Structure formats: structure tokens, C-alpha cells
RNA sequence: GGGACCGUAGUCUAGUGGUUAUGACGCUGCCCUUACAAGGCAGAGGUCCGGGGUUCGAAUCCCCGCGGUCCCACCA
């Protein structure tokens, strides 16, 4: 051993070693003592970023530790391949258009595989001990077939349906999205007060932020309350008149107004007035118009009063109408209306309001529209109570993260729209339509891509849904099932056996652990719980371990635009994978985590400390030796070490890897190196075999304890001093027996 | 509007009812002692955000503030 560890050499040698000696990484589903971890499949962007590094180092720590405890661990690595970002790269960077579907999909596949290669290399460098034989891609033949199989299963059980509904539509991405992907953004807006003539010569005053939807106006709603006439024959809520100091000319009860019709200017349509308990009397003028569709309320009211459906927004978010607004963008239409309706607009108020947007994709954030379309849905709206019961069976770490899920479940108000239109780089539906009915394809034809597999589709003589692919969360949200599938099939997959595979998978549920970030509780965690329960009537996992986000040193989110992104590869180049792991494992569950170069440096120093103790053993040629009479100092350190192992185990069981690491480090550095080792130097010089025995065995134990944190240096030193077999073949049980025996 | 989390030494951070409040970095002094100066030894540094309450005892539990982060919510 040289004076300093050379990580360039160690990393390379140990990676080679693990590629040849990874028996301990492999999971055997037929063996007992299973510990199965459901890991997040990273999206194949090409970058394994610091967040991936953090979460996988965490998972790997646990996997290695559990193996040393004698568990048969499944640590899978998967890749989530489909999605819009890849399409955009292909279109914008490679300049390949979507016209030729086959060519486009091939380009997507190439791009994705290239990205996986580079990400895979980073994951290897991090020292991850995933099962090399069970790496999955959501685009694998087996994965696609299984995903389609689960959809067919849901369809046959009546849990998946095709419906025409107003759906959330992202005009920018030109696709439908699910409520899991939508959220509200607070924005500046304009509230238009528009005068609408009644057929009695008076006018009612409505307030709206969406005047451009005028062509879709199909009704007027008022609250069941008092309304008054103010100047210029305007009728508003009494509340509004008082608040704005208008002179009240006459007062009406709501039912006196309800009997009139309203003439919508510009389009000359007469619509009716309805009084409704859900109208907010205190907002605006207490009068609202219904346009199909400006927001979810409109959908409710349209259905309640059986109103017409007049769509005036196309897929690109442009206006459809038979007047001069036709073809305009929404904003242009809004501006133009200021001119066209100038005799009707009483005032325009600047307001801050929440706008429904495509929040799941931070590079989109486009405002959403409601457009009626025929799509596939998974039913979830009516089973909220069930879902709430399901989540109770899962243990959350930390417990308060459960609130995010409960909060979300309570808010479900629509079924899960799983169709994505205009998305080519996705999994197609295994269904076809014939005589207005939906049928599933035969299992033996899975996976099926009706856009390409014309041979397969021929026999069905029906219309496939070639313009739709499934929501990407549909693919990733069966990961707990798929990781077991891959363990069962052993590279020998036959779609005809899907029913058998499925029945077998169920036996292994729930798996031990899901680990993921809190930002995808409402998507990945929720979706997985829903899918797996609907399919199997079992919860997917017993434990959900939730971690926070990685922030920069100042506590800001990392983003390309801020230029504060830390690349794990650079850290590993400059320091070591072990040092990066040291930093990652100082995080406590649930909390956001600042990147800290100081902690990386401390980690590196600790690795060097371990190394130098190893050198001391090597220089003094410390071998197994014979234990004779233990001295006080020997007994003390042995006892302390045995207690440390117990304490460390408690920390792991509570997912407190930070405490584990701090406690172990303190023992190594202070108790063992600074105290014990200094004390026994004389004895070592005098060839005291008991001291050598203690030194030899405790240091070996230290290497084992530190190994889940710093696998490289511990594996390397272990080979130099102890054995050429992988250190993961060691067991805590054996170690304890040896030292205390 | 509702909710969650957080506020501990110069900085970051653990602790969630019980002796001198954890650890890291930084800081001060001494030491190049053949495993290690990316080290060793010794040390300084805290009104645990503020106020009130519960308790024999509060950083920890409760209430009220102040400050921060995040999530959710249909108000046109």
C-alpha cells in the first residue's frame, strides 16, 4: 500500500473486480431471506445528476448492509425511457420529423440507448451493487408486454374505460395530461367586467378572466341571493353595489332575474339564466357566465343544466369561431376583444389569480385548456375511500410524508386520463375498436405496436388507436411488479405465460421498500399504489422511504439556468466515489439537502484515515495471530466495537444512515486509531500476539462496517490484508462470533 | 384560503421531556512523534427565533407571535 490511496487505480481495479465477482449482487427469488427494494427508474435524459447519485447511494448503502446481514437482496436498476423530452431532442437537435413514424421511433431508440450507456457508466462508478442481470428498460419487450397486459387486465375488470370527456389539454405539448401532472400557478391576470343585455332592456354585469371564450358561452349563473339595479340599467349583486358605493335603483330577488334571457354580444346567442348554490355571491358581480370550457366549474354546470357544448379552442390553443376571432391565439383574441366589445366592457381589473397549468414538467408550465376528447381512463374518482384505506397499510419514513399522499387522494376529482395524443415515443394501447366496441388483443401478440406491427394487427380487423400512447407514469408505476417479473423469467419470456407470471408475482407482494423523493409522491407513489392495488389487491410495499431534494451550497434548487448544477462525475474525478457517498449518507430522511464540498473533503479524509490504518497493519505484518490474555485496553475496544455494531444496526433499521456514519467514523477515528492504536504501539513492536489479534480482527470489522458507505476503499484494503474474495461475502454474525468468542 | 416542515455556536447540522446540548467545517495555541500534517494534542465559541403556558424538570409538549421553505385548493 502506497503512502496515499490512488483512487484512479482503486476505482478502476475495484470496478473490474466487481464486474467479475458480483455473485453477492445477484438476487435469487427462490432463496429465502429476501429483501426487495423498488428503486426509481431514472428518466433517460443522458445525465445521471446529483439527485440520482444521492438516492442511489442511499439505496446501495442499505442493499450492501443487508447483504452483510445475510439477506438475499434485490437491488434493481431500471430506466424510464419514454417521454416528450426525448421527442423534442430528436425533433430539435437531430432535425428528424415525426412524419415517418418508423424512422422517428428508431431515432428515439438510438438516442435513448446512447443516453442509457452514459448514465449506466455513472451508476457503475457510484459503486452501485444492482443486480447486473436484471437491469430493465421500460422499452424492453418484456416490460412493454407486461404493461400492456396490465392494461388489458384492468379493462377486462371494468377499471379502464374509453370515454369522451372534457380533458385537461396542454396546447404547448399538444397532449392530454392527467391531474397528477397539473397544478396551479399564481399569475397576473385581467378580470373583465362585461355588460350583457337582457331581453327586458336591462343589463347584467358579469366578471370573467376568459373573455376570449365568448363564443362558448352557453349560460349565465347567479347565486340564490339579492341582486340590484344600479346606474346605466346594470344589474349586479347587492353586495357588489354596496362595496363599490353604487346608488341602488331597485332591488330584486334572484328568481325575478332568472326568468329573463341574456343576449351575448358579438355572437348574438340567447342563453338562459340559472340560479345555482355553487355560485360565489361575493366574487366579482356575483354573476358568472358558463363557457365550454374555461375551468372545471364549467364542466360541472354544463352537465347540471344540460347545456350545449360549444368548443372554441383547438388543439394548438387557437380560437375557433365564425367571427373575426377565428384562428387567433388566446392572448391575441383577448386583446382584440377589448376593441370589439368596447361598448360592453365596463372595466378591466388587474388581479392575481391561480391558473391551471402543466406543472409536472418544469420546462412547460403552459396554461391548460379543457377540450372534450375520447380517451382512455383508469377509474379512480369513485374509489377515494378505498385508496385512503390502502395507504394506511404502508409505513412512511418520515411519517409526516404520508400527509402529502392523503392530501392528494382527498383531492381526486376526476378519473386518470392515460391517453397521450400526438406522442409517438410512448407505449401504444393494446386495444382496437370494432362496431363501436373496444377489444383487447390476444396475449400472445404482446407487446404490440399497431403503428409498426402491421402483421400482428391484420388479424383483428379493427381500428387501433395509432395516435395515442399511454401516459409514461403508467409504465413506471408497475415497477414493483416488473422487478419481480424480471426475477422470475430469467431472460426466458413468453407472452403466452403472462397470466402465470402475474399470479406468481402476486405471491411476492408487498415488497420491502420503496425509496423515492417527495416531489413525486402524487405521481409515482400514488400511481403505483393505485395500479398495484387495482391489479393485485395488495399494497406494493411495506415501507416508503422518502428523501428530499439536493440543493446547492446556498440552499437554492439546482438548475441549468442558475448554473449551480453539481455533476457527480466531476466530484468523483476530483475526489472519489467514496467521498461522494460519504456526503450523500449524511442526509437525514425527508429533508432537503445542501451540497457541501466540505463534507466531500471530510469523506475523502476519512477514506485516507482508513487507508493509513491499513498501512500500519501492513507495515507491521499483522496477520490472524493467536489470542492469548486480553488486556484491559483490548477488552475495552472489543466491547466498544460490539456495542457499535448493535448501535449501527439500530440506526440502519431507522434509516438513520447519517447517525450510522457519524458513529462509525467517530469510533474508527477516535476510539480505534487515536486511542487504542496509539496505546498498543509498544506491544506491537514487542510482537504481542494478542494485540495483533485484536488489531487484525477489529480492523476487519471496521472495513465491513464502513463498506456500505465506502465500498471502494474497503474492498481494496480488504483484498490487500484479508482475502481475495469480495468483502460482501463477510457476515456480521460471523464477525461477532469471532470477536466475542 | 387550508396544510406540512423548519428556525440550535461564524456557517451547516443531529437531538423531539431528564446529568456538562451532537457532529462537521471554520477559529486559537502547541507539536513535521517512522500509519496518517488531507495528521496529533489542548482549547475557545450557543439568550437552542421571541413571548406565554404545562411540568419537579422544556431545544423537545401546548398556545400566540415573527421569519423561512414547500405542498395543496374551482372561484369565474
Question: Which segment of A404-413, A535-544, A720-729 scores lowest on mean pLDDT?
Answer: A404-413
Dist CA A378 CA A385 (whole Å): 16
Domain endpoint, select from A357, A382, A416: A357
What integer is the mean pLDDT of A281-296?
90
Statement: residue A561 has pLDDT above 80: no
Which residue has cell 433517460? A44
Give the structural domain span for A275: 183-357
Strand B nucleotides within a 7 Å radius of protein CB atoms = 2-5, 12-15, 22-25, 34-36, 38-41, 69-76
Does residue A596 approach strand B to less than 7 Å at its CB? yes
Nearest-nucleotide field for A666 (CA, C1'): B23
Residue–nucleotide distance: A551 CA to B51 C1' (Å): 34
What does the block give as the cell for A483? Answer: 422487478
Domain with residue A293: its CATH number is 3.90.740.10
* Residue A494, SS3 per DSSP: coil
Dist CA A128 CA A119 (whole Å): 12
The secondary structure of A393-410, three-state, reads CCEEECHHHHHHHHHHHH
Domain with residue A629: its CATH number is 1.10.730.10
Q: What is the CA radius of gyration of chain A?
A: 32
Is residue A132 assigned to a domain? no
Residue–nucleotide distance: A70 CA to B38 C1' (Å): 35
C-alpha separations of A506 from A492, A495, A542 in Å: 19, 17, 14
Is residue A707 assigned to a domain? yes
Is residue A191 assigned to a domain? yes
Residue–nucleotide distance: A546 CA to B70 C1' (Å): 15
Statement: residue A722 has pLDDT above 90: yes
Which residues of chain A between 668 and 727 are close to nucleic strand B, CB under 7 A? 669-670, 673-675, 677-678, 681
Within a 10 A sphere around the Cβ of A193, how many other Cβ atoms? Answer: 20
Nearest-nucleotide field for A360 (CA, C1'): B71
Is residue A455 assigned to a domain? no
Mean pLDDT taken over chain A? 93
Helix (H) or strand (E) holding A439: strand A437-440
Assess contact for A117 and A394: CB atoms under 8 A. Answer: no
Is residue A134 assigned to a domain? no
pTM above 0.90, yes or no: yes
Residue–nucleotide distance: A654 CA to B14 C1' (Å): 14
Is residue A402 assigned to a domain? no
Is residue A568 assigned to a domain? no
Dist CA A317 CA A108 (whole Å): 27
Residues 6+ apart with CB under 8 A from A263: A196, A197, A198, A199, A269, A270
Which residues of chain A between 383 and 412 are close to nucleic strand B, CB under 7 A? 400, 403-404, 407-408, 411
Domain endpoint, select from A300, A328, A357: A357
Statement: residue A270 has pLDDT above 90: yes
Does residue A322 approach strand B to less than 7 Å at its CB? no
* Residue A226, SS3 per DSSP: strand
Q: What is the largest CA-CA distance in chain A?
A: 114
Is residue A140 assigned to a domain? no
Does residue A433 approach strand B to less than 7 Å at its CB? no
Statement: residue A379 has pLDDT above 90: yes
Domain total in chain A: 2
Which residues of chain A between 259 and 318 are close to nucleic strand B, CB under 7 A? 278-284, 286-289, 294-297
More confident residue, A75 or A362: A75
* Residue A419, SS3 per DSSP: strand
What does the block give as the cell for A191? Answer: 378580470
Domain endpoint, select from A302, A331, A357: A357
Q: What is the DSSP letter of A537?
A: S
State which residue has its Cα closest to the C1' atom of B6: A591
Could you tell me whether strands A468-470 and A419-421 are parallel, antiparallel, or unpaired per DSSP bridges? antiparallel
pLDDT tens digit string along A624-653? Answer: 878 889 999 999 999 999 999 999 999 999
pLDDT tens digit string along A406-419? Answer: 989 988 988 999 99
Residue–nucleotide distance: A251 CA to B50 C1' (Å): 52
Does residue A564 approach strand B to less than 7 Å at its CB? no
Query: Residue A251: beta bridge partners?
Result: A228
The helix, strand and coil proportions of chain A, stated in percent and rounded to the nearest 5, come to 45, 20, 35
- Tell how many helices (H) and how many strands (E) occur in chain A: 26, 28
Does residue A97 approach strand B to less than 7 Å at its CB? no
What integer is the mean pLDDT of A104-110?
96
Amino acid at each position: 500500500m502506497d503512502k496515499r490511496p490512488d483512487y484512479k487505480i482503486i476505482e478502476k481495479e475495484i470496478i473490474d473486480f466487481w464486474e467479475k465477482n458480483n455473485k453477492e449482487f445477484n438476487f435469487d427469488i427462490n432463496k429465502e431471506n429476501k429483501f426487495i427494494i423498488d428503486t426509481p427508474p431514472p428518466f433517460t435524459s443522458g445525465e445521471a445528476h446529483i439527485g440520482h447519485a444521492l438516492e442511489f447511494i442511499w439505496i446501495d448503502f442499505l442493499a450492501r448492509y443487508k447483504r452483510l446481514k445475510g439477506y438475499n437482496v434485490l437491488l434493481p436498476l431500471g430506466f424510464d425511457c419514454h417521454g416528450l423530452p426525448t421527442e423534442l431532442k430528436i425533433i430539435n437537435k437531430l432535425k428528424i420529423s415525426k412524419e415517418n413514424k418508423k424512422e422517428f421511433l428508431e431515432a428515439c431508440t438510438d438516442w435513448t440507448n446512447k443516453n442509457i450507456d452514459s448514465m449506466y457508466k455513472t451508476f457503475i462508478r457510484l459503486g452501485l451493487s444492482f443486480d447486473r442481470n436484471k437491469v430493465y428498460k421500460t422499452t424492453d419487450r418484456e416490460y412493454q408486454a407486461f404493461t400492456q397486459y396490465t392494461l388489458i387486465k384492468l379493462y377486462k375488470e371494468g377499471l379502464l374505460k374509453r370515454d369522451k370527456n372534457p380533458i385537461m389539454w396542454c396546447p404547448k405539448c399538444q397532449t392530454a395530461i392527467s391531474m397528477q401532472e397539473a397544478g396551479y400557478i399564481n399569475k397576473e391576470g385581467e378580470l373583465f367586467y362585461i355588460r350583457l343585455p337582457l331581453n327586458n332592456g336591462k343589463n347584467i354585469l358579469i366578471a370573467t378572466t376568459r373573455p376570449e371564450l365568448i363564443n362558448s358561452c352557453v349560460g349565465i349563473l347567479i347565486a340564490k341571493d339579492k341582486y340590484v339595479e344600479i346606474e346605466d340599467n346594470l344589474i349586479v349583486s347587492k353586495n357588489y353595489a354596496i362595496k363599490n358605493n353604487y346608488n341602488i335603483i331597485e332591488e330584486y330577488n334572484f328568481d325575478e332575474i332568472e326568468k329573463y334571457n341574456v343576449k351575448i354580444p358579438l355572437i348574438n346567442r340567447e342563453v338562459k339564466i340559472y340560479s345555482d348554490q355553487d355560485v360565489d355571491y361575493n366574487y366579482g358581480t356575483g354573476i358568472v357566465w358558463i363557457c365550454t370550457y374555461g375551468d372545471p366549474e364549467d364542466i360541472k354546470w354544463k352537465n347540471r343544466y344540460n347545456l350545449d357544448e360549444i368548443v372554441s379552442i383547438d388543439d394548438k390553443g387557437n380560437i375557433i369561431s365564425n367571427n373575426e376571432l377565428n384562428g387567433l391565439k388566446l392572448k391575441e383574441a383577448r386583446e382584440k376583444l377589448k376593441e370589439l366589445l368596447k361598448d360592453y366592457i365596463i372595466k378591466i381589473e388587474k388581479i392575481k389569480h391561480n391558473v391551471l397549468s402543466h406543472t409536472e414538467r418544469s420546462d412547460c408550465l403552459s396554461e391548460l385548456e379543457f377540450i372534450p376528447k375520447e380517451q382512455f381512463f383508469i377509474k379512480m374518482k369513485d374509489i377515494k375511500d378505498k385508496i385512503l384505506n390502502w395507504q394506511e397499510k404502508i409505513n412512511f419514513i418520515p411519517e409526516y410524508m404520508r400527509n402529502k399522499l392523503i392530501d392528494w387522494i382527498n383531492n381526486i376529482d376526476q378519473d386518470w386520463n392515460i391517453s397521450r395524443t400526438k406522442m409517438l415515443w410512448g407505449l401504444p394501447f393494446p386495444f382496437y375498436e370494432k362496431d363501436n366496441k373496444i377489444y383487447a388483443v390476444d396475449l400472445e401478440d404482446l407487446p404490440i405496436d399497431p403503428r409498426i406491427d402491421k402483421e400482428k394487427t391484420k388479424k383483428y380487423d379493427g381500428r387501433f388507436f395509432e395516435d395515442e400512447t399511454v401516459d409514461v407514469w403508467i409504465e413506471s408505476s408497475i415497477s414493483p411488479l416488473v422487478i419481480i417479473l424480471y426475477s422470475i423469467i430469467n431472460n426466458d419470456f413468453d407472452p403466452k405465460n403472462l397470466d402465470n407470471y402475474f399470479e406468481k408475482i402476486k405471491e411476492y407482494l408487498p415488497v420491502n421498500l420503496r425509496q423515492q423523493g417527495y416531489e413525486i409522491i402524487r405521481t409515482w407513489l400514488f400511481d403505483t399504489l393505485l395500479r398495484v392495488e387495482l391489479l393485485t389487491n395488495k399494497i406494493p410495499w411495506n415501507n416508503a422511504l422518502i428523501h428530499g431534494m439536493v440543493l446547492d451550497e446556498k440552499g437554492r434548487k439546482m438548475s441549468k439556468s442558475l448554473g449551480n448544477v453539481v455533476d457527480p462525475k466531476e466530484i468523483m474525478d476530483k475526489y472519489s466515489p467514496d467521498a461522494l457517498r460519504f456526503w450523500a449518507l449524511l442526509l437525514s430522511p425527508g429533508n432537503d439537502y445542501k451540497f457541501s464540498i466540505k463534507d466531500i473533503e471530510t469523506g475523502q479524509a476519512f477514506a485516507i484515515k482508513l487507508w493509513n490504518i491499513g498501512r500500519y497493519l501492513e507495515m507491521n505484518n499483522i496477520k490472524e495471530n493467536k489470542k492469548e490474555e486480553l488486556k484491559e485496553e483490548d477488552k475495552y475496544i472489543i466491547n466498544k466495537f460490539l456495542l457499535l455494531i448493535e448501535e449501527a444496526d439500530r440506526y440502519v433499521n431507522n434509516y438513520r444512515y447519517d447517525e450510522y456514519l457519524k458513529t462509525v467514523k467517530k469510533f474508527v477515528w477516535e476510539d480505534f486509531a487515536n486511542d487504542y492504536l496509539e496505546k498498543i504501539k509498544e506491544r506491537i513492536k514487542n510482537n504481542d500476539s494478542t494485540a495483533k489479534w485484536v488489531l487484525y480482527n477489529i480492523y476487519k470489522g471496521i472495513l465491513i462496517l464502513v463498506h456500505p458507505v465506502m465500498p471502494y476503499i474497503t474492498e481494496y484494503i480488504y483484498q490487500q490484508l484479508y482475502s481475495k474474495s469480495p468483502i460482501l461475502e463477510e457476515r456480521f454474525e460471523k464477525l461477532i462470533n469471532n470477536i466475542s468468542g
